[in-house]
A and B are shown apart, each in its own frame.
Chain A
Amino acid sequence: MVALLSADAIWQVLEHVPDPEIPAVSVVDLGIVREVSRGRVVITPTYTGCPATQVIERDIRTALDAAGFGAVAIDTTLSPPWTTDWISEAGRAKLKAYGIAPPVPAGQRAVECPQCGSRETEEISRFGSTPCKAQWRCRDCLEPFDLFKCH
């Protein structure tokens, strides 16, 4: 029972650790935290070369220590590989509110402009400001925006 409570408490701490590149969402929203159990937190990198990975681990460490979970270890796993399907519904809503179009599920092509909601959008570049984003533009409101790439 105590173990269960502390796992819940750890999840609550992690829910307040923002992603360093997209601070509107937490590391839990993004699906970076895979598991909390038996005194350890398991995290997984989004992209192989994402420079935020090290910062994320450090931020989680700082938050855990501050909440009195100094004994909890952090492990990193590559397998199974992270996918954008692991971003929570809450995370997707937060991304959109922040101005980043959430990843489009496989099979669905239309990307919605996070500003005006139009589906008349087009890709400018497959690569954007971070490894996880592409640059898009809206043909209706003419605003450029970031799309969280389906991955």
Chain B
Amino acid sequence: MFETLLRLGDDSLILGQRLGEWCGHAPSVEVDLSLANMGLDLIGQATHFLGAAGAAEGQGRDGDALAFHRDVLDFRNCWLVEQPNGDFAQTMARQLLFSTWQEMLFGHLEASADETIAAVAAKAVKEVRYHAELAAEWVIRLGDGTEGSRRRMAAGLDWMWRFVPELFEMDDAATAAAARGIGADVAAFREDYDARIRGVLAEATLETPKDQRPILGGRRGHHSEHLGHILAAMQFLPRTYPDATW
């Protein structure tokens, strides 16, 4: 239970933090608001999932303790969400690949045997649908845009593509969670996912990137060097001033 909630919460937390990095730097004020709003939705999900994870663990840790007082090796997010923002096209590539997956995942988790997971999924799936739509619109606009935007969009997708297989990995913990009815069998919607992504790329007149050697391990605490840098920024304040309140 703890493990399942941690995986869900860490995905949302790390991507929410990543999107927050765009605040004040986006190409336009409207995009700035979009990215900050999506980040806020994700942090909201993380608050619920990590709060429930702390309660399930029963060691007195709350959501904040899990977010701010764990080290890299204890994080269970996938590699995709910790990837750098790069340019706006790269950020939108990551968002399309993640939000499309998360929308399908939450659609399944609405039927989770765990009440909290089911409630958060049912609530958040409506928000995530918005994220996936927004990302698809930008991928289409940039891919089917100028020579420069097209080149950047293709490069962004190329960067993110190798992290997709991890989203569909069913390791022992995921298989056990699915068997107990609390987690989802992600492999079951792989084909639907591929079809949806292919549809967006076709409309964007972009070629599907070549499959590369998949990178796995985030769910078991193996991460890219990027996660440490994210945590350094995110955890600095509560670790340096443990008594700070806000």
Which residues in A have some Cβ–Cβ distance to B below 8 Å?
A: 45, 47-51, 77-82, 124-129, 131, 135, 151
| Residue contact A131 to B30, C-beta cutoff 8 Å | no
Q: Is B47 an interface residue (CB 8 A)?
A: yes
Q: Which residues of A contact B122 (CB under 8 A)?
A: 78-81
Candidates B16, B116, B130; contact of A126 at CB < 8 Å: B130
Candidates A48, A128, A131; contact of B45 at CB < 8 Å: A48
Q: How far is the CB of B46 from chain A (nearest CB, A)?
A: 9
Q: How far is the CA of A135 from the CA of B118 in the complex (A)?
A: 31
Q: Is B33 an interface residue (CB 8 A)?
A: yes
Q: How far is the CB of B62 from chain A (nearest CB, A)?
A: 14
4 additional A-B residue pairs with CB within 8 Å, beyond A50-B40, A81-B123, A127-B37: A47-B44, A78-B116, A79-B123, A124-B30
| Residue contact B119 to A49, C-beta cutoff 8 Å | no
Q: How far is the CB of A100 from chain B (nearest CB, A)?
A: 16
8 A-B pairs within 8 Å (CB atoms) are namely: A47-B44, A47-B127, A48-B44, A48-B120, A78-B122, A124-B30, A131-B40, A135-B30
Q: How far is the CB of A7 from chain B (nearest CB, A)?
A: 25
Q: Is B48 an interface residue (CB 8 A)?
A: yes
Q: Which residues of A contact B1 (CB under 8 A)?
A: none
Could you tell me how many residues of chain B have their Cβ less than 8 Å away from some Cβ of chain A?
29
Q: How far is the CA of A45 from the CA of B33 in the complex (A)?
A: 20
Q: Which residues of B contact A47 (CB under 8 A)?
A: 40-41, 44, 127
| Residue contact A79 to B30, C-beta cutoff 8 Å | no
| Residue contact A49 to B34, C-beta cutoff 8 Å | no
Q: How far is the CB of B230 from chain A (nearest CB, A)?
A: 18
> Which 9 residue pairs spanning A and B have beta carbons closest together?
A49-B44, A48-B44, A125-B30, A79-B119, A81-B123, A78-B119, A49-B40, A127-B34, A127-B37
| Residue contact A131 to B37, C-beta cutoff 8 Å | yes
Across the interface, name the chain A residue whose C-beta is closest to B28: A125
Given contacts A48-B120, A78-B119, A151 and B43 within 8 Å (CB-CB)? no
| Residue contact A49 to B43, C-beta cutoff 8 Å | yes
Q: Which residues of A contact B123 (CB under 8 A)?
A: 45, 48, 78-79, 81-82
Q: When each residue 108-141 of chain B gets 1 if its CB lies under 8 Å from chain A and 0 otherwise, what string results?
A: 0000000110111011101100100110000000
